[in-house]
Structure formats: structure tokens, C-alpha cells
């Protein structure tokens, strides 16, 4: 997490609402299911502490402000330090292709945000806010250049979750939405992001990428994650898409409920439930910034599952090198190599976070169940 140039802290104590009680009940149901399941699917040491801290943020600020709290612990980083490689990459990109858009972007004052870096809520100072605004706006420019699907013209950052409000080209934008559009376009080069496709994502955070994929095409999207993230995603996607398009988590999910999934829907599952799906059921499986945060045995198990359940492509976006001290594991990029019949067909340094790689693997003998 980047160092943050901060103003005086300010507290945010949201009153309890029915939404919070509902999400809390989901979290408990999901936790009981995960704890009762096989050990290989239980959170390792790295995430055990983080889960409780995320829950504390939800209890304190409420689900309707989650984009200012727990979302900052998923992928929406508060990039405000000149030492942050993402901000340096953004500045380098602007120097190569100068544009007035990042300079003209607007942002409201940023107050009462939370991260893992400290225990209380805080405001961004004017200087930190300016750096964050430029970073987000320049990331949006990169998304516009990568966008072959027309998503930057069709989408804007939803108000659901109370995001940090940034405007560029006259529309609300965000770092998460820009990254999601870039990721979706990279995956779409496989030819498998199409109407009727089946897509799985392991570790989806609050569902930011599901939102983008479902806007791109009429497909079936399955989220596999642990609570509280899975509960946050269930609430967010229901608020955003409507209850008729969201298939909520069921601890008793089975082959019949899987067979009932339809294009245009997003379904929520805990990671162990990925085993319920037939091998090759998905056209595309993907996971972003997840695997190094697990014990090595668990991470390897998930890589094998993602490969087994995909008939066509596996998309990986992970740290190029990461040392997980809590679980005693280290993950260089070569650790992620898939065995035959999988072939690496595309690899690049991530265009926003240069410490990440993007890989797209293709099954040499594609099959469809």
C-alpha cells in the first residue's frame, strides 16, 4: 500500500441499516460454509488477519460506503505517492502521449477513507488528492486506448458504494472501472468474451470485473470468493444489476442449480464450489491479484482448478514476484506456468501496475461441455 499524504483524520460512523444486517448475515452463512469445508479452501495466514480488519471496516462505515473502505484493500489502491510505480507509469504514459484530459479532470474532496495502513478514517490532503486525480484520469486514458469493446463510451462509475468521485470527459470514472475495462479487453483478445460465453473469476473482490464483462456481452459470469468479499459482491451486483440477474450464494448448490444458470446472469459461490462444475464448463477462467496471498499448496490447487474447468483460456494477472511472509511462500512469474496442453499465447507487463504481469493461456485441444 502506498504512503498517503494525509490531512487531519476524520471519523465516519454510519448508522446500522437493513443492508448492513443483511450483508452481515450473508457473511456468517458463507463463513460457516467455508469453515465446514475442506481445509484446502480455508484462508491462509495472510488473509486470516485481513478478513477481520475488512469486517471491522464494514461494521464501522456500512456497506453503502464500501468503495471508500474495503474496496481500497481489493484493487482500488490510493495511489498518491510519487514513489508509487503506478503513478510513475501514469506520468511516463502522459509524457509519451500528452493529453489535456488528465489535467482537466475534476475530483471532489476525499474524506473519511480507510485502508489497511492505519486504524482510523482519514482525509486526503489537497496535494495527495491532486496526485490521485491525475493518476485515475491518466489510467482512464489508457483504458480508452485499449478499448476495442466500446466500454469507455458506454460505462461510468456507479454511485453504488459511494466511490471517490472523479470526472473526466464529462463522466464519472474510477481506477477500478478503468482497470476492469483494460482487463476485459485483454481477455477478449482470446475471442471468448462473446454472447453465450461462460466466465469464472476467482477472487473477484466486490465484483468490479463482473460488472464490466456483463456490460460487454450477454454471458454467464460466476464469482468464486471468500467472505466478506463474496457478500459485498453479492450486495453490490444486486444493487447494480437487479435481483433478477444475480444468483445468490447457496451452501447447497448442486448440478441442478448450475444447469439453471443463464446468459446475462452473475452467480456467487465460495471457492470450494468450483469443484461442482464439470471440467471444461467455462470458456474462460481468470484470477487477478490473488494467488500470492495464499499458501503455496492452496495456490497450486487453484491454478489446477482454473485450468481444469476452462475449455479455452485462462487469464492470469498477478505480481511478477511476491514474497508472502505470513504463509512462507514466494511466487516468481515462472511459478504460474501451466503444463501441456496449455500454451502461453500472450504475455505483457501490466499497463497500469508495472509490478504485475498479464498472461493469457490457451488450451491446445479446446473442448466444450
DSSP-assigned beta bridge partners for residue 323: 330
Residue that is written with C-alpha cell 467472505 in the block: 227
Report the distance separating Cα 117 and Cα 98, nearest Å: 33
All cell numbers assigned to 120: 482510523
Report the distance separating Cα 296 and Cα 302, nearest Å: 10
Can you give the pTM of this predicted structure?
0.93
Q: What is the chain's mean pLDDT, rounded? A: 93
Q: What is the pLDDT of residues 94-130, one digit of tens each?
A: 999 999 999 999 999 999 999 988 889 999 999 999 9
All cell numbers assigned to 10: 476524520
| Cα atoms in the 13 Å half-sphere on the side-chain side of 38 | 10
* CA–CA–CA angle 208, 15, 117 (5° rounding): 55
- The domain ranges of the chain are 180-363
More confident residue, 116 or 253: 253
* CA–CA–CA angle 204, 291, 29 (5° rounding): 50
Q: Which of 125, 160, 129 is nearest to 232 (CA)?
A: 160
pLDDT tier at 16, thresholds 50, 70, 90: low
3-state percent breakdown (helix, strand, coil) of the chain, nearest 5: 45, 20, 40
CB under 8 A, 24+ apart: contacts of 15-22? 15/62, 16/62, 17/62, 17/63, 17/64, 19/62, 19/63, 19/64, 19/235, 20/58, 20/59, 20/62, 20/63, 22/235
Question: Is domain 180-363 classified as CATH 3.50.50.60?
Answer: no
Report the distance separating Cα 181 and Cα 178, nearest Å: 5
Predicted pLDDT at 156: 98
Q: What is the pLDDT of residues 79-103, one digit of tens each?
A: 999 999 999 999 999 999 999 999 9
DSSP-assigned beta bridge partners for residue 360: 315, 346
Quick one: angle between helices 229-241 and 208-216, nearest 10? 40
Amino acid at each position: 500500500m502506498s504512503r498517503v499524504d494525509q490531512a487531519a483524520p476524520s471519523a465516519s460512523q454510519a448508522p446500522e441499516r437493513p443492508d448492513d444486517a443483511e450483508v452481515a448475515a450473508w457473511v456468517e452463512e458463507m463463513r460457516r460454509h467455508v469453515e465446514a469445508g475442506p481445509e484446502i479452501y480455508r484462508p491462509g495466514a495472510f488473509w486470516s488477519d485481513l478478513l477481520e480488519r475488512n469486517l471491522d471496516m464494514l461494521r464501522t462505515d456500512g456497506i453503502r460506503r464500501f468503495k471508500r473502505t474495503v474496496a481500497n484493500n481489493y484493487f482500488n489502491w490510493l495511489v498518491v505517492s510519487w514513489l508509487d510505480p503506478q503513478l510513475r507509469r501514469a506520468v511516463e504514459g502522459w509524457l509519451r502521449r500528452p493529453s489535456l484530459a488528465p489535467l482537466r479532470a475534476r475530483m471532489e474532496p476525499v474524506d473519511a477513507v480507510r485502508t489497511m495502513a492505519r486504524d482510523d478514517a482519514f482525509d486526503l490532503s489537497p496535494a495527495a488528492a491532486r496526485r490521485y486525480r491525475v493518476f485515475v484520469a491518466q489510467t482512464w486514458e489508457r483504458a480508452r486506448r485499449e478499448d476495442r469493446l466500446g466500454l469507455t463510451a458506454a460505462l461510468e462509475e456507479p454511485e453504488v458504494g459511494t466511490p471517490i468521485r472523479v470526472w473526466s470527459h464529462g463522466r464519472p470514472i474510477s481506477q477500478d472501472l478503468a482497470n476492469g475495462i483494460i482487463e476485459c479487453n485483454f481477455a477478449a483478445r482470446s475471442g471468448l468474451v462473446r454472447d453465450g460465453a461462460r466466465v469464472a473469476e476467482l477472487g473477484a473482490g466486490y465484483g468490479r470485473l463482473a460488472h464490466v464483462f456483463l456490460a460487454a456481452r450477454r454471458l454467464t459470469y460466476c464469482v468464486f470468493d471468500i467472505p466478506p468479499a463474496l457478500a459485498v459482491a453479492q450486495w453490490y451486483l444486486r444493487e447494480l444489476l437487479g435481483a433478477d440477474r444475480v444468483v445468490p450464494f447457496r451452501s447447497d448448490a448442486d448440478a441442478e442449480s448450475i444447469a439453471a444458470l443463464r446468459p446475462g446472469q452473475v452467480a456467487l459461490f465460495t471457492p470450494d464450489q468450483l469443484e461442482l462444475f464439470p471440467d471444461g464448463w467455462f470458456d474462460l477462467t481468470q484470477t487477478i491479484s490473488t494467488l500470492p496471498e495464499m499458501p503455496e499448496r492452496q495456490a497450486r490447487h487453484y491454478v489446477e482448478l482454473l485450468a481444469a474447468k476452462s475449455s479455452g483460456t485462462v487469464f492470469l494477472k498477478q505480481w511478477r514476484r511476491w514474497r508472502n511472509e505470513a504463509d512462507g511462500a514466494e511466487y516468481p512469474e515462472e511459478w504460474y506456468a501451466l503444463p501441456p496442453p496449455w500454451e502461453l499465447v500472450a504475455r505483457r507487463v501490466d499497463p497500469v501496475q508495472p509490478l504485475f504481469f498479464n498472461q493469457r493461456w490457451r488450451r491446445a485441444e479446446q473442448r466444450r461441455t
